Amino acid sequence: MYHIAGGLSMGTVQKSVRLPEDLVGTVRAWAGERGAAFSEVLRELLEEAIKMRRCPGIVFGDGPSGRRARIAGTGIEVWEVIAAYKSVGEDFGRLRAAYHWLSEAQLRAALGYYAAYPQEVDRLIERNAAWTPERLRAEYPGLVARPDR
């Protein structure tokens, strides 16, 4: 039996669960690769599984700044679609025109995820908005094109 503690914003509760050895081995390996605690990785996996069950059509993928909710079958992150939705005055028709290659179901999956987890998505939108050209030049000068000299 393995004891795990899972943390959410409301605090943590310790629960005992029985897990198959192969599952424990897989989680341990992932935790080792990330330099993370077993319980941290298991909590993240459980949270993602719950979110995907609540929001069909949403998956999670690794990105440069962690794991994020994405529209299944695409590399498009939910926050990107929601930022676009807000920029068109929350007009679904205009959103469909902006993402014409996505199905209505895919767009509705992103909107549904946002309805369920607005703080998470808004935080990512705000983080992205904080990237100005000046900040990019200051923090990552190698990424900014320079005129030929």
pLDDT band for position 130 (50/70/90)? confident
Q: Domain coordinates of the chain in residue numbers?
A: 1-54, 56-149
CATH annotation of 56-149: 1.10.10.10
* Dihedral angle, C-alpha 57, 58, 59, 65, nearest 10 °: 150
Kindly report, residue by residue over 70-124, the tens digit of the pLDDT: 999 999 999 999 999 999 999 999 999 999 999 999 999 999 999 999 999 999 9
How many CB atoms within 10 Å of residue 143?
8
